[in-house]
Structure formats: C-alpha cells, structure tokens
Amino acid sequence: MDYVSTTSPTYAFYEGTSWEPPAPRARTVPAAVEAAPRAPQAPEPSTPDLPKAVGWMIVGAYGAILGAFGLAFLGDAEVGLVLGVCAAYLAVYLGVPAVILRMEPKAETRPDLADFLRQGLSTWTGRVGAGSALAQILTIPVALAVAAAGLGIIVRLSA
C-alpha cells in the first residue's frame, strides 16, 4: 500500500475526499401557485338503492327475536329485567343506524319496494337481483328469529 500524506485533503488509507461537509447550496423558492377553489363535497348516501321497507324488515326480524324471548321466558319475575336490558340494547343497535341515516343527505329518488324487486341492487361488482340482495341482508336476522322461536317452543313445551 502506498503512503498517503496526512497533510493533503485525503487521509491515510482513505482515498476519497476529506470528511468535511460540502458547501451549502443556494436554495430556490418555488413559484407561488394559487389553489383552485374546490366545490364543497357532500357525502354520498349509504343506501340509495334500498327502499325503507327493507329497513323495516330488519327491524321486524329483530323485534321477532325479542318477542320470541319474551313469550318463552316472561313467566319468571327476573326475566323482565333481562328483557328490558335486551330491549334497550336493541333500541341502541337499531337506533344508531337510524340516526346516521337521518344525518346523511337524502337520495334524490329512493325506490319503493316494487321497483326494488324489479330492478335489484347496484353494487361495485355489478347488479344483484332483489332476491339475492334480500337474502344477503335478511339471512342472519331471520335465522336468529327462527332459532329464538324454536327455542321458545322447546322451553314452553318442556315446562
């Protein structure tokens, strides 16, 4: 290895330039650009293709669950408090979406149930028939209502 003088800008065993920072560069200021005024944007309605009747079907299914539990277990005194708590939870569970739907902008034309049954529902992946849409929306609530009614029948018959 060759000897490198330590008095030069390079150091021994280092063949690059010195470790001193580079000289500061002149900064340029970008030209001022005026922002174009934006039109105010309103949120998009969350359920523009669903009629109100579908919402009432959901409310009816969950009400049937609570009614089935009430008919099955209301003979006991302690059950009243439990059903009251369940009713309060159900009111919140269904009331929060109702409040949110009232806060959003109204859809220009929301279809009635007959139009919905004819046209179906528009999704990101295409149109869905009304029967398929209702099956996807109501399967869980109706299945729970049937199960609660079955449980109520079993309880009443075994008592």
Helix (H) or strand (E) holding 117: helix 113-119
Nearest CA among 131, 144, 133, 136 for reference residue 63 = 144
Question: Exposure of 121 by Cβ count < 10 A (0-12 exposed, 13-18 middle, 19+ buried)?
Answer: buried
Residue 19: what pLDDT?
64
Contact status, residue 83 vs residue 66, Cβ threshold 8 Å: yes
- The pLDDT mean for the chain works out to 82
d(CA 81, CA 128): 42
Nearest CA among 137, 134, 133, 138 for reference residue 61 = 138
Is the pLDDT at 39 greater than 90? The verdict is no
Residue 77: what pLDDT?
75
Chain segment 118-128, per-residue pLDDT in tens: 988 888 888 89
Is the pLDDT at 25 greater than 60? The verdict is yes
Is the pLDDT at 130 greater than 70? The verdict is yes
**Which residue ranges make up each domain of the chain?**
52-158
Sequential DSSP letters for 52-101: HHHHHHHHHHHHHHHHHHHHHHTTSSTHHHHHHHHHHHHHHHHHHHHHHH
Residue 114: what pLDDT?
92
Residue 105: what pLDDT?
74
Encoded amino acid at 135, one letter: A
Q: Which residue has the higher pLDDT, 37 or 22?
A: 37
Distances (CA, A) of 150 to 46, 67, 72, 153: 34, 12, 10, 5
Chain segment 60-77, per-residue pLDDT in tens: 999 999 999 988 887 777
- Name the token pair of 95: 């009331």
Question: What percent of the chain clears pLDDT 90, i.e. is strictly above it?
Answer: 36
DSSP letter, residue 159: -
What global pTM score does this model have? 0.67
Contact status, residue 97 vs residue 54, Cβ threshold 8 Å: no
Residue 4: what pLDDT?
53
Q: Any idea which of 76-80, 89-93, 109-113 has the lowest mean pLDDT?
A: 76-80
